[in-house]
Structure 1
Amino acid sequence: MKLLSWNVRVLGNPQTVRRLRHSLKQHHPQVVFLMETKLNKNGMEKVRRSCGFQFGIDVDSIGSKGGLSQSWLGKVNITLRSFSNRHIDVFVEEGEVGKIWRLTGFYGSPYSQDRNAAWNLLRQLRNQGDYPWLVCGDFNEILYGFEKKGGLPREERRMEAFRQVLDDCNLVDLGYSGWWFTWERGNFLEINVQERLDRGLATEQWSALFPNNLIRHLPHSFSDQCPILLDTAYKNGEAVKRKFKFEAWWVLEETFFSETKRIWENSTGDLVNKLEILKKKLEKWGARIQSKNENRGFDFKTARIT
């Protein structure tokens, strides 16, 4: 299944709708989550039907702000659980998978005074069943400082609050392919700001259900924000790139910290590039250590840090 999530920044004119239709025809998503439509339910229903989506849940904008829509094709069975001006939460049932999972389209507050309320909403949604859970959308926040380029540095307490809510909800970032940022403002270098505000998050249960999932950051045209396209079963004639996984037992190894320091000090490029090098080399180091210890009879499956 393909899911497209996009902060479209207004769907109020025919040219914008035509560009949206073009994007949908190009990527063929079965489910679409749109934010900042700035339309009422009747207006949004007309737009999504013109895009070929007969089924949908539309949330009114509040004046000239907000507006959400989640639409799907008939091949996917979707049941509404709850909605607000910040989220649409549904059950998804695919015949091919044969299992039910949760999908929450989420729009984080762009205003600092409302951000805690948005995070608490996510916590409330977490406590509503133990189904495999996927959350995607525009969170209007970054997890780490390197997810922003240009402008004023993000306050650490804001990023920590975002990291904490993900920890509380047992959600893990699914990563991405393509441009590293999803939002951009300013055409000139001295005023240009780029941030990764849109992402997909999932529980371990969901990732186990769809181990070959892939998120791509797509080019944007009429919005200052990139659409993100999630494919639950990505295939491209080649092996799917395995996601980096930090193993807890690594920190038990005497050489872990010295090896990490050595890799970092010998890496070149910007912060993002150095982190990519660190991930790859730590995986190779971990594989060597694991192979050596397994030959001694050490069982990593039962290893625990206490």
Structure 2
Amino acid sequence: MEFIHMSTVLETLGSDFDDYVYLPAIGTRGGILLAWKSRMVTADNHMFSPNTLTTQVSTPSSADAPWWLTIVYGPQQDHEKIAFLQEIRDVRANCAGPWMLCGDFNLIYRDEDKNNGNINRRMMGRFRRVINDLALKEVYLNDWEERHGECHLRCLASVVSDHSPLILDCSPLPPVHRRFHFEEYWTRIAGYQDVVAAA
């Protein structure tokens, strides 16, 4: 989308997301939307480049140590991908301190990430060099779950894009504990004593 209005954010993500920033699409390509709940997160010092949106994030738990978040939507053509890799390097140079990089790179750095045999090894090597030079580390799902097990990642339906928005909720409602009700008549059901003995 070339223009994203608040009504689109509210329709897609819900009324809790009361602030947003976006990188507009060019025709049908690209475009990045970042929305947040301003009562829980502060996002400012936004920076834009052709394929990235970067912001500085602060939460109550990280008020003394804000961090940078860069979201990317990589191009399709090889000559554009080479410029995109330099773009990532330039963004990192402007973001001192902790930095998270995520999004759709339209690049792979391992053979197993490709679902067919059409692999551009030269481009894969370029991407791998950027990963190594910037000391990037992939955050695996099990690492995330160990450190942030209370968080939930949900995928929403989208009527405005062929990509579905993801919501990361790091403060879900506490689980509801249901009370266990023992029914006295269970003791008269055939096989009850066998179940109790097995326990």
Instruction: Output the TM-score relative to the length of structure 2.
Output: 0.68
User: What letter is aligned with 1:72?
Assistant: W
1:138 deviates by 0.3
Q: Which one of 20, 27, 34 corresponds to residue 56 of structure 1? A: 20
Q: Which residue of 1 aligns with 2:132?
A: 167
Equivalent position amino acid for 2:71 in 1: G
8 Å contact 1:105–1:137 — kept in the other structure? yes
Counterpart residue number, 1:46: 7
Amino acid at match of 2:23: V
| Aligned counterparts of 1:160 and 1:48: Cα–Cα separation in 2 | 37
Amino acid at match of 1:45: M
**Aligned in 2, Cα 1:122/1:224: closer, same or farther, shift over 3 Å?**
same
Contact kept? 1:44, 1:58, Cα under 8 Å: no
Q: Compare CA radii of gyration and give the structure with the larger one.
A: 2
Give the share of equivalent positions with the same residue, in percent: 24
Query: Structure 1 residues 58, 227: closer, same or farther in 2, change over 3 A?
Result: closer
Specify the code of the residue in structure 2 equivalent to 1:113.
H
Structure-2 residue corresponding to 1:212: 147
Structure 1 residue 104 and structure 2 residue 66: aligned?
Answer: no
Counting matched residue pairs gives: 165
Normalising by the residue count of structure 1, what TM-score does the alignment of the two structures yield?
A: 0.46
Q: CA deviation at 1:147?
A: 1.2
- Residue equivalent to 1:257: none
Residue number in structure 2 paired with 1:80 = 45
Distance 1:144 1:224 in 2: 25
How far apart are residue 221 of structure 1 and its match?
6.2
Residues 5-24 of structure 1 aligned to structure 2 (within 5 Å):
none
Pair 127,159 (structure 1): closer, same or farther in 2 beyond 3 Å: same
- 2:32 aligned to which of 68, 72, 85: 68
Aligned equivalents of 1:216, 1:164: Cα separation in 2: 32
Q: Aligned AA for 2:8?
A: V
> 1:217-276 deviations in whole A, cap 9, x for unaligned?
866866776766657799xx9xxxxxxxxxxxxxxxxxxxxxxxxxxxxxxxxxxxxxxx
Closer/same/farther in 2, CA of residues 232 and 175 from structure 1, 3 Å limit: farther
Q: Which has the higher contact order (CA 8 A, sep 6+)?
A: 1
Q: In structure 1, how many angstroms separate the alpha carbons of the residues matched to 2:119 and 2:58?
A: 39
In structure 2, list runs of 5 or more residues that go unmatched: 176-199
Structure 1 alignment gaps of length 5 or more: 1-38, 178-206, 238-306
Distance (whole Å) between structure 2 residues aligned to residue 84 and residue 229 of structure 1: 24
Alpha-carbon distance change, 229 to 153 in structure 1, aligned in 2, over 3 angstroms? farther
Matched, 1:148 2:114: yes
